[in-house]
Structure 1
Amino acid sequence: MLKKLFKILPSQFKLQDQFIILLIFSTIIPVFIVGLYGIYSSSNILSEVAKEKMEAESTKEANKINAFLNGVSDDVLLLSKTPPIQGIIRAKENNGTDGQTNLSYNAWVGQLQILFTAMMERKPHYMQLRYIDEKGKEIVRVDSDGGNIKIISAAELQKKGDRPYFIETIKLTPGSIYVSPVDLKQENGQIETPFKPVIRYATPIVDSSGQKRGIVIANVFAKKFIDAFKEVNKQAEEENAYEGKEKFIVNQNGYYISHPLPEKEWGFEFQKEDKLDQDFPPEVTREILNKEKGFIDNGEYLFTFDRVDPSPNQPEFLVVLNKVPHKSVFAAVNSFKLVAFLIIILSLAVVLPLGFIRARQIVNLIKQLVNIISASIQQTFCGLDQQARIAGQQAASVHETTTTMDELEASCRQSTQQAKAATTAAQQALTLAEGGSQAVKETLEGMFILEKKVSAIAAQIVHLSEQANQIASISQIVSDLANQTNMLALNSSVEAVRAGEYGKGFAVVANEIRRLSDQSQKSAEKINVLVSKIQKAINSTVMVTEEGTKTVKTGLENAQKTDQAFAGVADAINYMVVNNQQISLNLKQQLDAIQQVVQAMDIINKGAQETAAGINQTKLGTEQLSDVALALKRMV
C-alpha cells in the first residue's frame, strides 16, 4: 500500500505538494499516535487506580460491617453461657428452685433481666435481647428503642415457636450461630414505622446433660451499620472523589438494603422488584451475587464488591457494592483527548503555514541546485571526455615509457658489464702505475746522486778555473817580469854599449837575459794562451756543468714531477677503480630501480586502463545523474 502510494506521489504531485502532504502526515500521525498512547496509558492507570481505590473502599466497608456483626456473634455466645440461664433451667426442672444455689426461678429471671439490661446499656445497638425456652415461649425479654430500655413483663411475653429464627436456631449444635436475613422489624404482623432494619443473632441453649433448653436471641439495629455505611458514602460525595459515585448494600437475592434512593430499599418487604438485576446487566448481577469479591468494568460503570457473610453455613449474606460511572473515572482522559485535539489543531495551524513557506524555500533551493547540478554535469561531461583522452594518452605514454625503460634496462646491464671491465683495466693500470712510480723513484735517487756528482765536478771546475786564473795571474806576472827583464836587458845592452869593452860581457849577459826574457815572455804568452784556452774550456765546462746541473735539476724536478704524476696517476687510477666500483654498484641499483620502475609502469598502465574504465563508468553515472536531475527538475 505504502509502496504504491510512494510510486504514485512523484507522478501525481509536485515536490512542493509532496512536502506539504508529508508534513501533514508527519505532524498528525505522531501526535495521533502519542495521543492514543497517552489516552491508553492514562486509561489503564486511571482504571488501575480506580480499581484499587474502590476495592480498598469496598473491603474497608465490608470489614467494618463484619467487625460489627462479629461483635454481636461474640456477645450472643457470651450470653448463652451466663449463669442466670442455667439457673433458670435448673430451677424450672426443680419446681422453681435451683438445687445448686437455692435461688428461685424468679430470682434467676431477674438476674438475667439485669444482665440483658446492662448489655443493652453498654451497647445501644441492641434492639431486643431474649431468652426463649425449648417450647418457643419467651422467658426473658428486654426491649430498647435505642434510648429507652424496657423489661417486658411476664404477661406481655409471647410464644415464638413458629418463627423461622426459632425453628432454624433450635436445630443447630451448641456453639453455632444463626443469623437471620436483614429485614424490617414487624410487630403483630405489621412493619413498624419509621422503618427499623433488624438482624437477629441466635444460638441454642443446652443444660448440663446436653439437652436443648431453648435459645438466646439478639435483635440488632441493622440501621447502626447501614447508617454508618451511608455516612461514609455521604463523606465521599462531599469529598467529590468521583462524580456520580454510588454505594449499595444488597442481600443474597439482590434486593437493596441501602441505596442512595430510599424508595428502592426493602423491595422484598413490599413485593417490589427494585433489585440489582433491574438496574444493571444480568451478567454484572450474576458476578456480584456469585463471587466473594471482585472488580467489573462493563464500559459504562466500574463496580467493586465485597461479600459480608456473618454465617458461612447459611445462604443469607450481604454484599457491599461500589459503582462509579466510567466517564467520571476517565474524565481526566477525556480532558486529555480534548487537549490533544486542540494541540493537533494548533500544531497544524502553526506548522502547516511554516511548513508551506519552508517547502517553497526548499523547492526554490532545489531548483537552484538542479540548475547548478545540470551545469556541473555538462562541465563534468567535457572534463570526463578530456580525462578519457588524457587517460588514453597516459596509457600510450606509459607504454612508450615502459619500452624505453626496457631499453634502458638493457643499456644499464651493458654499462654494468663495461664498468666491471673498466674496473679490471683500472686495477691493471694501477698495478703498472705503481711499477712506474717505483722506477721513477729509483731514477729520482740516481738523479740525486748525479746532481751531487755534477755539483762536485762543478766545484772542481770552479776550483780549477780559480787555479787557472791564478796561473794566468802568475803568467802575467812572469810576462811582466819578462818585459821588465827585457827592458832591463835592453837598458843593460844600451849601457853595455856605452861601456864599451867593459860592457861586452854584460851585454852578452844582458842579451842572454833578454833572450831568456823573450823566451819567458813567449812561454808566458803561451801559458796565457793555454790558460786562456783552459779558461775557455773551463768556462765551457762550467757552462756545460751548469747546463748539466740545470739539466740534472730539471731532470730531478721532472723525475719528482713524474713521481708525483705517477702518484697522482696511481691515486687517480685508485679513485677511478673506486668510482668504477661505485658506478658498477650504482648501475646495479639503477638496474633494480629500473626493474621496479618497469613494474610500477605496468601497474600505472593497468591503473590508467582502470581509470579509463572508471571514467567511462563515471560518465554513465553522470548521465544517470543528469537524467535524475532532469526528472527532479520536472518534479519541482
Structure 2
Amino acid sequence: WYSISSSTNALSNLAKSELEEEVNDQAKNIVAFLNSINDDVLFLSKVPPIQGIIRAKAGGGVDQQDNSSYDTWVKRLQTIFTVMMQAKPYYMELRYLDEKGNEMVRVDWDGTKIEVIPKAQLQNKANRSFFTETIKLSASSIYVSPVELHREGGVIKKPYTPVIRYATPIFDSAGVQRGIVIANVFAEQVIKFIRDADLAIKGEEAFLVNKDGYYLSHPNPKKEWGFELNTDDKLTKDYPKHIAQQILRGEQGLIDQGTNKLISYYKIVPNAQQGQPLFVIDHVPKGKVFASVNSFKILASLMIFVSLAAVLPLAIVRLRQLVNLIKQLVNGISTSSQEMFSTLEQQERIAGQQAASVNETTITMDELEASCRQSAEQADAAAIAAQQALQLTENGTQAVGETLKGMSTLEEKVDAIAKQSMRLSRQTNRIGDISELVSELANQTNMLALNASVEAVRAGDHGKGFAVVAAEIRKLADQSKQSAQKINVLVSQIQNEINSTVMVTDEGTKTVKTGVQIAQKTAQAFTGVADAVNNVVLNNQQISLNLKQQVDGIQQVLQAMSTVNKGAKETVIGITESRVGTEQLKQAAVELKRMV
C-alpha cells in the first residue's frame, strides 16, 4: 500500500510540473516575440530617412543639411520598410505619420505581396486612438494596442485577422514632436504559440485570454473574439467566478482546489504603463490525469488479493520450491543489476559529456550573440559618424561655394582695377603730351622775349620799359620750362608705376582665375565625397538591420540550446538516479539471497 500511495503522489506531481512548464514555455515564446517587435519599432524610429524627411519638409522640399529632396528621403524610408517586411513577414503595415496624423510613408503586406502605398492614397489618422495615445509619449516610449480584429472602414474584415499595433513618437533634433512610427503586426503569430503548443497530457487544452477574460484563442473557435462579436463567451462563463478572478488578478500559478480540473496560468504584460495584459491558460481534467493512477491502484489491489488467495493454500507445499525459485531470481537479478549498473555508469558518463558539450556550445552562442550585438552597435555608431561626416562635407561644400563667389567677385574687381589702370595710363600720356607742348611754348616764349630785349636795346631809352617786361616774360618762360620738365619726370614715374600696377594686376587676374578653377574642382570633389558618404550611411543602416536579424536568430538558437541543455542535465540526473536505484536493487538482491 505504501508503494501504491507513493506512485499516486509521484504521478500527480509529475502532471502538475508538466502543466506548469508548458504554460511557462508558451508564455516565454510570446514575450520573446513581442520584445522583438518592440526593438524593431525603436530601431525604425531612429533611421536617418525619418529625420531627412522632417528637414526636407521644413526646407520646402529640400533637406538643407543633405541637399537631398523630400522624395529621395521618402524612397529611402520605403526601402527600409520593405527590407524589414521581407525579413519578417509577420508585419502587416509599417508607417510614418507626421505630427498632424498624416501618413507620410506606408508599406503594406497582405501575406502574398509587399505594396508601397502611393502618395495619393495616404490617409489622415489623427483621430485614431493609436495616434492620440502615442503622440503623448516621451522619446523611446512604446504604445502597444490591445489584440483585436482588423477593420477596414470601421468594419471587421473577413476572414478574421487578429492584429496588434506597436508605435513610438518621433522628435526632431531640437526635441520638437514630429509624428510617430507605427507597426501593425499579424497577431496570429502570437496565437500560434498557443494553438501549435505540444501538449504532453492527454485531454489538456490551452487558451489565450485578454484582461477582461475574453478568449483570443480557444479549442472551440466559436468562443473566440466575444468582445468584438458581441458574445458572452469568456472565462467567467466556463470557470467558477472565484477561479476566473484568481487567474485575472494573479501573475502565475497552479490551481487544483475548488474545480475538477488542474489549471495553470501565466500573465503576459506587453507594456507595463498601459496595463493590457494577456493570460496563457492550460487546463486538464483531473480524471484524465489520475485515470492511470486509479487503474494502477485497482490493478495492484486485485493482484495482491489474487496472489494471497492463490498462494496461501499452497504455501506449505510450494515453500521450498519458492525458495529455490527466489534464489534463482536473486542470482539473475544480481547479475542483471551488475550489468545494468555498468551500462548506466557508462551512459551517465556519456550523458555528462553531452551535457558539457551542450553547455560549451551554449556559452559559444552567448559569445556569438554578444559579438553580433556589439557589431550592430558599432554599425549604428558608424552610420551616425558617417552622417556627421556627411554634414561636415555639406558644410565644406557650402564654404567652397562661398569661396567661389568671393573669388568671382575678386576677379571682377581685379579686372576693374586693370581697366582703370589702363585708362589712367592713357590720361598720363596725355598729360605728358601737354607738358611737352608747354615746354615747347616756353622755349618759343623765351626766344621771343630774347628778341624783344634785343629790339628794346636798339630802341634806346624808349625801349627800356619794354626790355624790363621782356626780361620778366623770359623768366616766366624759364620757370614754365622747368615746371614742364618736372611734370615730365613725374609723368614718367607715374607711367612706370602704372605699368608695374598693370603687370601685377595681370598676374593677380591669372592667380584669381587659377583659384576659381581650384575652387570649382574642390566643389566637385566635395559633391563626390557627399555622395560616397551618403552611400556609406545607407550601407551601414542595411548592415545594422542584418546584424539585428542575426541577433534575433541567435537568440532563438540560444533558447533552443537552453532547452537542450536543460534536457541533457535532466537526462544525467535521471541516469544517476537509475544507477543509484540499480545499486540499491543489487544490494537488496544480495541481502535477499543471504536471507533465503
Report the TM-score, using the length of structure 1 for normalisation.
0.48
1:264 corresponds to which of 219, 223, 241: 223
1:133 corresponds to which of 93, 98, 113: 98
Query: Residues 441-590 of structure 1: matches in 2 within 5 Å?
Result: none
**Would the aligned equivalents of 2:26 and 2:193 in 1 still touch at CA under 8 Å?**
no
The residue type paired with residue 304 of structure 1 is S
The residue type paired with residue 267 of structure 2 is R
Label 1:175 to 1:184 Cα distance change in 2 as closer, same or farther (>3 A): same
1:310 offset after TM fit, Å? 1.4
Aligned identity (percent) is 54
The residue type paired with residue 117 of structure 2 is I
1:340 offset after TM fit, Å? 3.5
Task: Tell me, yes or no, if structure 1 residue 47 matches structure 2 residue 6.
Answer: no
**Would the aligned equivalents of 2:15 and 2:201 in 1 still touch at CA under 8 Å?**
no
1:243 offset after TM fit, Å? 1.7
Q: Which residue of 2 aligns with 1:606?
A: none
Task: Tell me, yes or no, if structure 1 residue 196 matches structure 2 residue 161.
Answer: yes
Partner SS for 1:217: strand
1:331 corresponds to which of 280, 286, 291: 291
1:338 offset after TM fit, Å? 1.6
Task: Tell me, yes or no, if structure 1 residue 292 matches structure 2 residue 251.
Answer: yes
Task: Tell me, yes or no, if structure 1 residue 93 matches structure 2 residue 53.
Answer: no
* CA RMSD in angstroms, aligned pairs only: 2.1
1:146 offset after TM fit, Å? 1.9
1:85 offset after TM fit, Å? 0.7
Q: Which residue of 1 aligns with 2:205?
A: 246
Q: Which residue of 2 aligns with 1:180?
A: 145
1:38 offset after TM fit, Å? 4.4
2:281 corresponds to which of 285, 306, 321: 321
Q: Which residue of 2 aligns with 1:63?
A: 28
1:99 offset after TM fit, Å? 1.2
For 2:301 and 2:48, locate their aligned partners in 1 and report how far apart those are by CA, in whole Å.
77
Q: Which residue of 1 aligns with 2:401?
A: none
1:40 offset after TM fit, Å? 4.0
1:194 offset after TM fit, Å? 1.2
The residue type paired with residue 245 of structure 2 is R
Alignment: residue pair count: 316
For 2:213 and 2:3, locate their aligned partners in 1 and report how far apart those are by CA, in whole Å.
38
Partner SS for 1:193: coil
**Would the aligned equivalents of 2:29 and 2:193 in 1 still touch at CA under 8 Å?**
no
Q: Which residue of 1 aligns with 2:195?
A: 230
For 2:167 and 2:4, locate their aligned partners in 1 and report how far apart those are by CA, in whole Å.
54
1:156 corresponds to which of 97, 103, 121: 121
**Would the aligned equivalents of 1:124 and 1:147 in 2 still touch at CA under 8 Å?**
no
1:270 offset after TM fit, Å? 0.4
Query: Residues 6-17 of structure 1: matches in 2 within 5 Å?
Result: none
Larger CA deviation: 170-179 vs 153-162:
153-162
Partner SS for 2:231: coil
Report the TM-score, using the length of structure 2 for normalisation.
0.51
The residue type paired with residue 314 of structure 1 is Q
**Would the aligned equivalents of 2:248 and 2:279 in 1 still touch at CA under 8 Å?**
yes
For 2:105 and 2:247, locate their aligned partners in 1 and report how far apart those are by CA, in whole Å.
40
The residue type paired with residue 44 of structure 2 is L
Label 1:39 to 1:214 Cα distance change in 2 as closer, same or farther (>3 A): farther
Partner SS for 1:232: coil
For 1:347 and 1:84, locate their aligned partners in 2 and report how far apart those are by CA, in whole Å.
84
Larger CA deviation: 216-225 vs 45-54:
45-54
Task: Tell me, yes or no, if structure 1 residue 114 matches structure 2 residue 79.
Answer: yes
Larger CA deviation: 113-122 vs 279-288:
279-288
**Would the aligned equivalents of 1:200 and 1:217 in 2 still touch at CA under 8 Å?**
yes
Query: Residues 17-28 of structure 1: matches in 2 within 5 Å?
Result: none
Larger CA deviation: 276-285 vs 43-52:
43-52
For 2:301 and 2:7, locate their aligned partners in 1 and report how far apart those are by CA, in whole Å.
16
The residue type paired with residue 84 of structure 1 is P
The residue type paired with residue 239 of structure 2 is F
1:49 offset after TM fit, Å? 1.2
Q: Which residue of 1 aligns with 2:37?
A: 72
For 2:12 and 2:124, locate their aligned partners in 1 and report how far apart those are by CA, in whole Å.
55
1:137 offset after TM fit, Å? 1.4
Larger CA deviation: 333-342 vs 173-182:
333-342
**Would the aligned equivalents of 2:149 and 2:163 in 1 still touch at CA under 8 Å?**
yes
Higher Cα radius of gyration: 1
For 2:13 and 2:103, locate their aligned partners in 1 and report how far apart those are by CA, in whole Å.
54
1:337 offset after TM fit, Å? 2.4
1:46 offset after TM fit, Å? 2.0
1:283 offset after TM fit, Å? 2.0
Query: Residues 346-357 of structure 1: matches in 2 within 5 Å?
Result: 346=306, 349-350=309-310
**Would the aligned equivalents of 2:30 and 2:193 in 1 still touch at CA under 8 Å?**
no
Query: Residues 307-386 of structure 1: matches in 2 within 5 Å?
Result: 307-343=267-303, 345-346=305-306, 349-350=309-310
**Would the aligned equivalents of 2:74 and 2:105 in 1 still touch at CA under 8 Å?**
yes
Q: What is the CA deviation profile of residues 121-170 of structure 1, one whole-angstrom value per residue up to 9, with x for unaligned ones?
A: 11101000011111111111111012210111122111111111111111
Q: What is the CA deviation profile of residues 356-400 of structure 1, one whole-angstrom value per residue up to 9, with x for unaligned ones?
A: xxxxxxxxxxxxxxxxxxxxxxxxxxxxxxxxxxxxxxxxxxxxx
- Name structure 1 gaps, 5 residues minimum: 1-33, 356-636
1:343 offset after TM fit, Å? 3.2
For 2:115 and 2:104, locate their aligned partners in 1 and report how far apart those are by CA, in whole Å.
15
For 1:42 and 1:251, locate their aligned partners in 2 and report how far apart those are by CA, in whole Å.
38
For 2:3 and 2:53, locate their aligned partners in 1 and report how far apart those are by CA, in whole Å.
73
**Would the aligned equivalents of 1:138 and 1:159 in 2 still touch at CA under 8 Å?**
yes
Partner SS for 1:202: strand
For 1:97 and 1:88, locate their aligned partners in 2 and report how far apart those are by CA, in whole Å.
9
The residue type paired with residue 280 of structure 1 is Y
For 1:171 and 1:290, locate their aligned partners in 2 and report how far apart those are by CA, in whole Å.
28
**Would the aligned equivalents of 1:126 and 1:146 in 2 still touch at CA under 8 Å?**
no
For 2:130 and 2:6, locate their aligned partners in 1 and report how far apart those are by CA, in whole Å.
53
Query: Residues 411-430 of structure 1: matches in 2 within 5 Å?
Result: none
Q: Which residue of 1 aligns with 2:491?
A: none
The residue type paired with residue 169 of structure 1 is T
For 2:6 and 2:241, locate their aligned partners in 1 and report how far apart those are by CA, in whole Å.
30
The residue type paired with residue 209 of structure 2 is V
Q: Which residue of 2 aligns with 1:282?
A: 241
1:352 offset after TM fit, Å? 8.0
For 2:282 and 2:7, locate their aligned partners in 1 and report how far apart those are by CA, in whole Å.
22
Q: What is the CA deviation profile of residues 465-513 of structure 1, one whole-angstrom value per residue up to 9, with x for unaligned ones?
A: xxxxxxxxxxxxxxxxxxxxxxxxxxxxxxxxxxxxxxxxxxxxxxxxx
Partner SS for 2:196: helix
**Would the aligned equivalents of 1:132 and 1:214 in 2 still touch at CA under 8 Å?**
yes
The residue type paired with residue 289 of structure 1 is L
Q: Which residue of 1 aligns with 2:399?
A: none
